[in-house]
Structure 1
């Protein structure tokens, strides 16, 4: 892809199934969640499958990297 507009156009043309599979085996999403009034971090595969939950964002990033995944934080 040469520029952002080409990347955006490519992503717009993906089917819902292809979009879910986009990044599988390469990306792990990290989402903060509240458990018993404390913030924990849920680690998910690119398709949304929950993988694990840990106490810290740093710990979630380490787990992703140890499994050859690039961590991406969600808000």
Structure 2
């Protein structure tokens, strides 16, 4: 997303002038810098609470598997 340093705001790509300048102040906007920022956002890591949820599910399913093995041992032996 294009950013104007002088105006200190994000610009919609449709509002940037055809020559690549800010509609408010007329300063040139660097589209390459906007593209670099987008790539950084795409490589963001997974939130920590997602891993807590995954660990909880693994522990729960692991315990249910142990209970299954205990039930099989009681019923068959």
Which structure is richer in relative contact order (CA contacts within 8 A, separation 6 or more)? 1
- Structure with the largest fraction of helix: 2
Question: Which is greater in Rg?
Answer: 2
- Same-fold call, TM cutoff 0.5: no
Query: If the length of structure 2 is used for normalisation, what is the TM-score?
Result: 0.26
- Structure with the largest fraction of strand: 1
Query: If the length of structure 1 is used for normalisation, what is the TM-score?
Result: 0.26
